[in-house]
Structure formats: C-alpha cells, structure tokens
Amino acid sequence: MVLDQNRPSAAAYLSAARTVLDRVAATQQLTVQTAAELIAASIRAGGVIQAFGTGHSESLAMEIAGRAGGLVPTNKIALRDVVILGDSPP
C-alpha cells in the first residue's frame, strides 16, 4: 500500500496527539485538579453541572449531559434554547 504524502498517517496523528496530551499533562495538572474539586464540591452541595458549548465545543456538553446512565446531575444548555426562549420559561 502506498501512502499519499499529502495526508498524515495514523502514526503521525497519534504522535501529534500524544505531544499535545503530554504538554497538557505537564502544564495543566493544577488547573484540572482545581476544576475537578469545584465540580465535586458543587455536586456534594446538591448542585447541577451546567454544560454549554457552541459549534464543535457543543459535543463536550453533549458528552457531559447526554450520557445515558450517568451518575452526575447535569443539564445541557442548548444555544437554540437560549436564542428561542431567552429568559422566558419553556
């Protein structure tokens, strides 16, 4: 099989992804730990994790709030809800 030199290989993609993940792990551990503690404290206090995203970031909100069988109380705030409903109750 001949690879197209204009398209990255799976190995090149994995290498680039590992580089990014390693950089995040090396530089953002305190930030991630702080966020996790805030989320845990909110849930312990009876709170609900509100998830929101626009465009591609909406997929993260869908992952957080859209999982069947999830154990964490979550709510996805959809952009269409904000645009259509504004501050009016549904």
For 31-82, what is the HEC assignment? HHHHHHHHHHHHHHCCCCEEEECCHHHHHHHHHHHHCCCCCCCEEEECHHHH
Residues 54, 85, single domain; the answer is yes
Q: How confident is residue 85, by pLDDT bands cut at 50, 70 and 90?
A: low
Mean per-residue pLDDT, 5-31:
91
Cβ pair 46, 70 in contact under 8 A: no
Residue listed under structure tokens 């398209």: 7
If one counts the domains in the chain, the total is 2
Residues 25, 38, single domain; the answer is yes
60 located within any domain: yes
Mean per-residue pLDDT, 60-73:
80
pLDDT of residue 70 exceeding 90:
no
pLDDT of residue 26 exceeding 70:
yes
Mean per-residue pLDDT, 15-37:
95
Residues 86, 61, single domain; the answer is yes
Domain with 39, as residue range(s), is 9-46
2 located within any domain: no
Helix (H, G, I), strand (E, B) or coil at 21: helix
74: exposed, middle or buried (Cβ count in 10 Å: 0-12, 13-18, 19+):
middle
